[in-house]
Amino acid sequence: MRRIGIDVGGTNTDAVLIDGGSVRHAVKTATTADVLGGIRTALAELRDADGGAAADVQAVVIGTTHFTNAVIERRALQRVGALRIGLPASASLPPFVDWPEDLAALVGGVVAMVPGGHEYDGRPLVPLDHGAVRDAAKRMADAGLRSIAITAVFSPLTAACEIEAARIVREEIPHAALTLSHELGRIGLLERENVTLLNACLQDLAAHATAAFAAALAESGIAAPLYLTQNDGTIMHADLARRFPVYSFASGPTNSMRGAAFLSGLAEGVVVDVGGTTTDIGYLKGGFPREANAAVAIGGVRTLFRMPDLLSLGLGGGTEIAADGSRVGPRSVGFRLAEAALVFGGDTLTATDIAVAAGRVTLGDPRRVAALAPGFTAALLARMGAMIEEGVDRMKTEAGDVTLLAVGGGSFLIPDRVAGCDAVVRVAHHAVANAVGAAIAQASGEVDQVFTGLGRDAAIAAATAEAERRAVAAGAAAATLRLVEIEDIPLAYLPGEARRVRVRMIGDIGAPAGG
Amino acid sequence: MIRTIEREELDFLATGAWILGTGGGGSPYLSFLNMRRLYAGGVRVALLDPDALDDDEAVAVVSNMGAPLVGQERLADPDFATRPVRMMEAYLGRRFRAVMAVEIGGGNAFQPLLVAARTGLPVVDADAMGRAFPEAQMTSFAIAGLTCFPLTLADIRDNEVIVARADGWKWMERISRKVCTEVGSIAATCKAPRSGAEVKRHAILRTTTQAIRLGAAVHAARRRHDDPVAATLKAGDGKMVFRGKIADVQRRTTEGFLRGTARVEGLDDDRGSRFDLAFQNEFAVGWRDGAVAVTTPDLIAVLDSVSGEAVGTESLRYGQRVTVIALPAPPILRTPRGLDHVGPRAFGHDTDYVSLFGAADAGCAA
């Protein structure tokens, strides 16, 4: 199967053509301000470079940091209507309560809280107040809002209130973009509502961007369905994905990890991605990044949804080293490495200089660091190796050795031997790992739910069946489904053997769905 | 004797109360958010030293009861917290002079502040546990043999329950827990009211101040890039028990409690040793290389070795770098009667109380 994977990063737009198990061609171009230009250039290069092979690709998959950057940089965000269903509960902490003020001011439109919602065991909290929902929708319509975020108490367990409210809102604002919290987040009302609001404020941008991606694709003459990658390393058809821009927030690191797995042929291990400023460490389980189970802040907003579990260390090729060796980082010269580091003619001692002096890597002018004593550089490399070692170990969830997959421009800082790792694999072509990760993505279904009154086995079976259903709905071929993650946690102070079960299934995309 | 709790002290209280939660008690985050919002709107809450109470003044003892998971969806709310206090006043036919927490550890440290913000009552600088415990009979008031009733309980809907009498603290726990479950496993309660004399004699005194002091020490250490664990020990007269990384965690729920064990493998000075922890919502007993090293009622807290942030029993995870510390139990919990209620045997561990803070004071009157 031929596929094109495109990674639209803040600096570079990378694209690869994958055929079966190998990378046929790779291109790297600068990301343009309108994003489109870079994609257009990359697609044209691929098409021309591969003698027409690109004409019969079955899928084009784009991974982009476009939406995350919009939130972080506070640009191209739209005002949203926030509808919370759950009164009389939670009244004192309204939507946007723990947002940074500048972002809340930019995104907050009409905020409404109405009676409704459910208990953890499926009983109604109070009946949904249809009239109050309609009044809220009218106020949102009057304010000219076209993107509405709807969040109900315990909706991940019982979504009926959100679905009914959506029906009413649609009657009042016929062309509204609606984001329902149960489609996105987990238990934890504020964090789930935050994800829902973020998703709602990106609707116009997402519609615009996906239309532009599709136009660039059509222009290139490549007639293949377009998919976007998600945080968990799977894909969604662009028509569906544009409704859920938050699902692309972490696609950068995710695609890098997935690409490393593909390029190394390993499905299990720890990926250590050493960049210029930071080292990102994440675990691969069955070829996918392990998911985070705790709140993750995006642009200062606490969220809890499907995100990879990453540990970021302040260590990279540009990390500044104190002249006496007493301090490693956390400051970094970052993207100025090529001018600031000693070996590149600068005057700042960096981790890269230490590695060059010790003969770990050949970069710039080694004579400029020849004066550094071997004992000094060896001690510093050992110290940086120990930082990586500790990070790898902190992220472990069980004892035993793992295989380390080294990627990133600063991966020469990773020693050949790392405690707790049976091998250090230096991944070839890691410069385009992100685009490769996009190209090989599959479709998934996830369930994260509290079950009561069922035994452990029955609860897991029920969650598994629902995850399968969702994976098929997302585009997976049923015959290719497999379980990639399962976790169950018993809960305190709840009767009836309550437990939270999380299950994720993935599969290859079926016949070009909807394409 | 009475002073205003300042804005930044809310942050300190959240951090300190979470440490005193000894692994349980629920996160103070949402209650803290409420207070931050109320303070932004100009509300201020007063902290009253217990000595300023007259003997016959009435004090409301409040708590939010229920499952932490439900508390993440049905969020803490000052109006909801206040209702059982108003119910109790109506039932007793008298007004309260002040309000206090039943439990300083975890989210309940903020419950009296939520009530105070709505009623204008001052918060008494005291609680009845000096930490967090899972059940109602595990209080200094129960240990002292004070009456356990009446109790008022409010639901967010128009359900209000008064437990007029109960045949002892354990009955009160069983009955109120049952009602709490029925209304969705979360309820605001006002426990048996206490007189000023009872608070002064039988409460654990000045624990709000203690929590604020602990939190302030952690925040100051972080600002200075000092070791926040060392700062916690200094501020809390605590002892370092063990430093290492979590090597294994086992959890199960029985009778509604989260029970389990965690094993820590030694690092630094403790390299080569292991430390086992048993918990029932909160940490109860710790063993160093198989020998009992520390037990409840001393406060066993597990801190992130780098950030100093307390780690809850629900979020223990393999590989975390942690430091196990002990803080001294309030004297009343160390008495023979105290140990009956909250010693290791009360949590099903067949071991005597072992303390790093000297032998228990058998003769110490409550």
In a domain, A394, yes or no: no
Nearest to A490 among B157, B185, B252 (CB): B252
Q: Which chain A residues touch B318 with a CB distance below 8 Å?
A: 396-399
Could you tell me if A61 and A85 lie in one domain?
no
User: Is A122 in the same domain as A176?
Assistant: yes
Same domain, A162 and A215: no
pLDDT digits (tens, 9 = 90+) for B21-76: 999 888 999 999 999 999 999 999 999 999 999 999 999 999 999 888 889 999 98
pLDDT reading at B366 higher than 80 = no
Residue B120: its H or E element: none
Select from A148, A177, A201 the last residue of a domain: A201
Partner-chain contact B257 A91, CB within 8 Å: no
Domain match, A87 and A146 both: yes
- Verify that A107 and A183 share a domain, yes or no: yes
From chain A residues 369-408, the ones with a CB under 8 A of any chain B CB are 390, 393-399
Closest CA to B223 of B31, B12, B54, B17: B12
- Interface predicted TM-score of the whole assembly (ipTM), two decimals: 0.90
- CB B185 to CB A395 under 8 A? no
Measured in degrees and rounded to the nearest 5, phi and psi for residue B70 equal -70, -35
* pLDDT top residue among B301 and A223: B301
Question: Starting from the edge strand earliest in sequence, which strands make up the sheet with B98-101, in order?
Answer: B2-4, B46-48, B123-124, B98-101, B58-66, B186-195, B151-154, B160-163
Cα–Cα distance between B250 and A14 in angstroms, integer?
A: 44
Q: Tell me whether residue A342 is in a domain.
A: no
Cβ within 8 Å of residue A476, ≥6 positions away: A442, A443, A444, A445, A505, A506, A507, A508, A509, A510
Mean pLDDT over residues B202-224, rounded?
95
Structural domain includes residue A403: no
All residues of chain B having their beta carbon less than 8 Å from the beta carbon of residue A490 are 251-253, 258
Angle at CA of residue A216, ends A211 and A220, nearest 5°? 145
**Residue B365, pLDDT score:** 39
Contact B77 A91 (CB under 8 A): yes
d(CA A170, CA B357): 65
What's the pLDDT at B335?
A: 95
Tell which of A201, A216, A235 closes a domain: A201
Judged against a pLDDT cut of 90, whether residue B158 lies above it is answered with yes
Q: Is residue A19 part of a domain?
A: yes
**What integer is the mean pLDDT of B199-223?**
95
The reply to whether A135 and A233 lie within a common domain is no
Q: Are residues A101 and A168 in the same domain?
A: yes
Task: Identify the CATH number of the domain in which residue A176 sits.
Answer: 3.40.50
B 77-106 residues with CB < 8 A to A: 77-80
CA distance A356 to A352: 6
Q: Tokens for A22, please give them.
A: 């190998």
- Residue A316, in any domain of the structure: no
Q: Domain check: are A191 and A217 in the same one?
A: no
The residue ranking higher by pLDDT, B283 or A486, is B283
Number of domains comprising chain A: 3
Inside any domain, residue A472: yes
Q: Is the dihedral of CA B300, B304, B309, B313 positive or negative?
A: negative
Interface residue B223 vs chain A (CB under 8 A): no
Do A169 and A143 share a structural domain?
yes
The pLDDT of residue B362? 47
Residue A341 is given by DSSP the state: B
User: Would you call A369 helix, strand, or coil by DSSP?
Assistant: helix
pLDDT (tens, 9 = 90+) of chain A, 515 residues, equals: 788 999 887 677 889 998 877 888 888 887 777 778 889 988 888 888 767 666 678 889 999 888 888 888 888 999 999 999 999 999 999 999 999 999 999 999 999 999 999 998 888 999 999 999 999 999 999 999 999 999 999 998 888 999 999 999 999 999 999 999 998 888 899 999 999 999 999 999 999 999 999 999 998 888 888 989 988 888 888 888 899 999 988 888 888 899 999 999 999 999 998 887 888 899 998 888 887 777 788 888 999 887 888 888 889 888 999 999 988 987 888 767 888 999 999 999 999 999 999 999 999 999 999 999 999 999 999 999 999 998 898 887 777 899 999 988 889 999 999 999 999 999 887 778 889 999 988 888 888 877 877 888 898 999 999 999 888 877 788 899 988 878 777 776 666 677 888 888 988 876 544 33
Among residues B247, B237, B230, the alpha carbon closest in space to that of B303 is found at B230
pLDDT value, residue A69: 81
The CA-atom distances, in angstroms, between B114 and each of A2, B35, B80 are: 61, 7, 9
Summarised one tens digit per residue, pLDDT across range B272-281 is 999 999 999 8
CB proximity list for B30: less than 8 A, separation 6 or greater: A93, A190, B71, B72, B75, B76, B107
CB contact under 8 A, A498 and B320: no
Tokens of B148: 């356990």
Interface check for B178 against chain A (CB to CB < 8 A): the answer is no
What per-residue confidence (pLDDT) applies to A446? Answer: 83
Residue A244 resides in a domain: yes
A130 & A166 share domain: yes
The residue of chain A nearest to residue B65, with distances taken between CA atoms, is A493
Residues A83 and A194 in one domain: yes
Tell me whether residue A175 is in a domain.
yes
Name every chain B residue with its beta carbon within 8 A of the beta carbon of A294.
315
Interface with chain B: mutation pick from A493, A494, A499, A501, highest number of B CBs within 10 Å: A493
Do A197 and A227 lie in one domain? The reply is no
Q: What is the CATH number of the domain that holds A28?
A: 3.30.420.40
3-state helix, strand, coil in chain B (%, to 5): 35, 30, 35
Chain B residues 244-263 with CB within 8 Å of chain A = 245, 247-248, 251-253, 256-258
Contact flag B317-A397 (C-beta cutoff 8 Å): yes
Q: Indicate whether B163 pLDDT > 50.
A: yes
Q: Single out the residue in A201, A218, A244 at which a domain terminates.
A: A201
Question: Would you give the end-to-end CA distance of chain B in angstroms?
Answer: 24
Instruction: Tell me the pLDDT tens digit for each residue of B311-340.
Output: 998 888 877 889 999 999 999 999 999 999
Range of the domain at A101: 78-201
DSSP 8-class letter at A335 = G
pLDDT in tens, B95-109: 999 999 999 999 999
Tokens encoding B157: 């809907």
What pLDDT was estimated at residue A513? 40
Q: Which of A93, A126, A188 sits opposite B34 (nearest CB)?
A: A93
